[in-house]
Structure 1
Amino acid sequence: MSHKKQLFDNTTILESISDGVFSVDHNWKITSFNRATEEITGVKRTDALGSYCSEVFRSSLCGEHCALRETLKTGKPIIDKGCHFINSGGKKIPVSLSTAVLKDDLGNVIGGAETFRDISEIEALKQQLSKQVKSGPLTSQSPSMASVQAVLEAVSETSATLLIMGETGTGKEVTAKTVHQLSNRSKQPFIAVNCATLPENLLESTLFGHVKGAFTGAYENKLGYFARANGGTLFLDEIGDISGALQVRLLRVLQEREFEPVGSNKPQKTDVRIITATNKNLSQLVSQDKFREDLYYRLNVITINLPTLAQRFEDIPFLVDHFIRRFNKLHKRTIKGITAEALLKLQSYTWPGNIRELENSIERACILSKNSEIQLSSFPFICNENTALDTPKIEVKESLGSNRDELEKQVIIDALKNNKSKIATAKALGIHKTTLFRKMKKYNIAF
């Protein structure tokens, strides 16, 4: 291939990409300036070429903190560094930039190149999330959580028994704590116990306490959680795993508001609000005679169904920021945030382990990250997924309340025509298939 042909191909590629790309020589004068750079900066290429880059970009990194200067000094590229510059209209544009050394055919350094991406939508999303209404530790921006929030506010003012249902990792204990903190019991104890982790005899003693001599090893009286949580809230997670005998004892507490410690026949009164949770279908267990019907109706006074994390993807930026702050403090790290590319990919991932999986993933990324920002490479399970490389901008636009519905509709129609199937279209757009189905219904797209 001739040098002229190679130059033509490179120019064509640079003009076709959506990221801004420019290069400078040793005198910091701009030698190339692609179409996307013109659009983002508002500066014409004819005006930019030959000008000093600091005059064109007016970046927050100009001067001694210049990323391109650091790359030319060390020979090492910089990847996804956050900053901002002022465009021709005086508007502050947040960007994520990367730098590299520019060499000729003989390997001689002739300048530097920089690529950058406008992340205004990401920053706007973060600002919107920072203004969201909070309900204790449970915060959400997602429409799928609106009904949950409404029930929480209403039920928190009462002492009604509450059943929380949802997949593992969806935040059932956090929801229970929120109800407790919003109630008039907030200054009293909140005690949580996972019923699936304790054997029956130990769980019984843990809940109801025991008297001295009740069984081998019971050398003294011991208060159970029903006594210790008096006036407060007792959260019983995985309630679908308790035995039939314990179901009978729990039913009595709910009916009579009293219990007997193991080894005692003297009833004790309790003023405890009971919140239960399960990832199982209790009504199905009832039909299979594995759960008492009368207890089920006692527990099912008010039910909250928590959506999966994939159904509330709008909350992922807030949750990521929350977890980064927590793990920075816990592990004495100084992670400043996460790259736009990584954040958008997190929003399109299915998250089978829900919030718990996200939390564990962010903790691992915070510990192992060698950069000030968490990179997409910190999530190999996402990198290895057979998904499109394009960032799912459709989701970001929707979460920002954009009015570009017609454009989004046309993008989906074109993608359906090109990919011939809904599953292939979802992959091409970088979104989950259920998101595509929802949008097709929203725009009345037949296929």
Structure 2
Amino acid sequence: MKYNLYPQFKILLVDDEVAFLRSMSLTLERQGYNNLMTCSDPSLVPSLMEKEDVGLVLLDLTMPRISGQKVLSWLKEEYPNVCVIIISGVNQVDSAVECVKQGAFDYFVKTSDQNQILDGLKRAIHTQELTLENQALRSQILSNELERPDIFSKIITSDQVMWSVFRYIESIASTRQPVLISGESGVGKELIANVIHELSNCSGPLVSVNVAGVDDNVFADTLFGHSRGAFTGADKTRLGLVEKAANGTLFLDEIGDLSLASQIKLLRLLQEGEYYPVGSDKPKRMEARIVVATHQKLEELQAEGKFRKDLFFRLKTHMVNIPPLRERLADLPLLIDHFIKSACEEMNKPALTAPKSLSVSLSQYTFPGNARELKALVYDAVSQSTSNKLNCAPFEPLLNKDNHLVFTESQVQFPTNTQLPTLSNMADLLVEEAMKRASNNQSLAARMLGISQPALSKRLKNMKESQHRN
């Protein structure tokens, strides 16, 4: 079985006592840290640092020939971005203060409580991961390009906000910190979770579960599993989803609907990195990355006392917000064409063409169900189509609502008993409406109107001059 290395960078243990190196390595491996290297000769540190991707060094202070303080000084000069934790055999306050002044991340005595050392290690790893992610994010923003565009191919968009989201996802995908995906129902949060999993290059699977409406007992049994005899009917051991997602990703959808009792269990899992199967007194290490999603505003749920602040703090290490479809109207024609093609393939229908004005007509609708709603509408339209043109009947109730104009391929219908506008007024109204829907983006508005951007710019200039004269 292939195991993922964690953390993403190597942890180098430097100590002249081989027994301590062996003991500390076993301790760290039991805690899930398996990307380790040991070195009993400090003179070899420069060559190891040059060859390996080291992000954290656990360094003994008192060693023969070369002191830990000298190695620390060299590391901070040559590799200032590497975290160094000093571990000393004796409690020397002056040495500890001096090491921290030189740039050591933390200082521990070997006889200290082991949990203190492990907590310090967790903090150092978290700090390094955030530093690496910030560097990757800056690089992505500067490059304005995706490293793995193929992974995002299932998400149809030309929206720049969405592409910024993609670049952010690339920068955080390789870490094991939690990710919180927010957005309205139907925007594609599941697709984003799949992308995060694929980009992480985890050897394990993506395991998904919708936790909405799941009570506390079912939640614990589903996530953590149970041992044989844990309760009536538990005639055999059952693996939980956390274990099934080992070395992979556990995706918890609709996290905002989780009960407070279950929120506490999830918080402990994230804090401790271990869990107890129902009916067992032996803890198991979590080896899965947690990704959660919600359509609710967790800040509002906190204010209402329905969501724990400490859990939200843990989950929001990385936050991905997916904008609704009504805020990226330029994606409408792309999505319509994509869904038509997909529906025709699934229904074994010949290729269909949609009215060019369909996407402009639909831009007046708010799409509360977002892309999922649009997909259902297009599939319904394809199923009802009997010629080579898309049957637009399923869209008419949306477009007729509140006496809005209804655009078809060949005509524009107006509400009855109203005075017709002049052609000039109608053109101005269309331009104003297009600019409003496009948030004053002339390129998008021109696309909606079916004219070039320079032509729209000229039209806007003439309208402005006409208003000034009047």
TM over 0.5: yes
SS in 1 for 2:250: strand
**Cα distance in 1, alignment partners of residues 462 and 227 from structure 2:** 69
Within the candidate set 440, 443, 446, 1:398 is matched to 443
> Aligned partners of 1:219, 1:412: CA distance in 2, in Å?
78
Residue of 268, 279, 295 corresponding to 1:279:
295
1:296 aligns with 2:296: no
Other structure's SS at 1:313 match: coil
**Is 1:369–1:378's contact at 8 Å kept on the other side of the alignment?**
no
Structure 2 portions without partners, runs of 5+: 1-148, 409-429
Q: Is the 8 A contact 1:196 1:242 kept in 2?
A: yes
Contact 1:342/1:374 (<8 A) preserved: no
Q: How much has 1:307 moved relative to structure 2?
A: 0.7
Partners of 2:351 and 2:214 in 1: CA distance: 38
Q: 1:407 aligns with which of 431, 444, 458?
A: 458
Q: 1:233 deviation in Å?
A: 0.8
Are residues 381 and 294 of structure 1, via their aligned partners in 2, closer, same or farther at CA, if it must alter by over 3 Å? same
> What is aligned with 1:150?
167
Q: 1:273 to 1:403 in 2, by over 3 A?
A: farther
- What corresponds to 2:222 in structure 1? 206
Write the deviation string for residues 276-327 of structure 1: whole angstroms up to 9, x where unpaired.
1112221222233222211110001011111110111111222222222332
Quick check: 2:214–2:258 contact (8 Å CA) kept in 1? no
1:320 partner amino acid: I
Q: Which one of 366, 372, 386 corresponds to residue 350 of structure 1?
A: 366
**CA distance 1:406–1:390, change in 2 (3 Å):** farther
The 1-side partners of 2:460 and 2:214 are apart by 52
Structure 1 position 349, deviation (Å) = 2.3
Correspondence 1:310 to 2:326:
yes
Q: How high is the TM-score relative to the length of structure 1?
A: 0.58
- Alignment match, 1:333: 349
How far 1:406 sits from its partner (Å)?
2.2
After superposition, what is the alpha-carbon deviation per residue over 1:95-152, rounded to whole angstroms, capped at 9, x for unaligned? xxxxxxxxxxxxxxxxxxxxxxxxxxxxxxxxxxxxxx65242242013323312211
2: CA distance, partners of 1:150 / 1:159: 18
In percent, how many aligned pairs have the same letter? 36
Query: Once the 2 structures are TM-superposed, how far is the Cα of residue 414 of structure 1 from its aligned partner?
Result: 9.6
TM-score (norm 2): 0.55
1:181 aligns with 2:232: no
Q: Which runs of 5+ in 1 are unaligned?
A: 1-132, 418-444
Q: Distance in 2 between matches of 1:173 and 1:278?
A: 10
Note if 1:361 corresponds to 2:377.
Answer: yes
Distance, in Å, in 2 between the alignment partners of 1:257 and 1:408 is 62
Tell me the CA shift for residue 178 of structure 1. Answer: 1.2
Change (3 A) 1:260 1:333: farther
* Runs of 4+, deviation exceeding 6 Å: none
Aligned length: 285
8 Å Cα contact 1:195/1:241 also seen in 2: yes
Cα distance, 1:405–1:157 mapped onto 2, change above 3 Å: farther
**Residue 218 of structure 1 corresponds to which residue in structure 2?**
234
| AA of the residue aligned to 1:409 | L
| 1:333 partner letter | K
Residue identity in the other structure for 1:183: S
- Tell me how far apart the structure 1 counterparts of residues 252 and 404 of structure 2 sit (CA, whole Å): 39
- Give the 3 Å change call, closer, same or farther, for CA 408–307 of structure 1 in structure 2: farther
- Identify which range, 333-342 or 202-211, moves more after superposition: 333-342
Q: Contact (CA 8 Å) 1:339, 1:375: kept in 2 or not?
A: no
* Partners of 1:235 and 1:356 in 2: CA distance: 19
Superposition CA RMSD, Å: 2.8
Matched, 1:140 2:157: yes
For residues 172-208 of structure 1, give each alpha carbon's deviation from its aligned partner in whole angstroms, at most 9, with x where no partner exists: 11111111112222x5311111111434322322111
CA pair 252-381 structure 1, distance change in 2 beyond 3 A: same
Within a 5 Å distance, the mapping from 1:207-286 to structure 2 comes to: 207-286=223-302
- Code of the aligned partner of 2:275: F
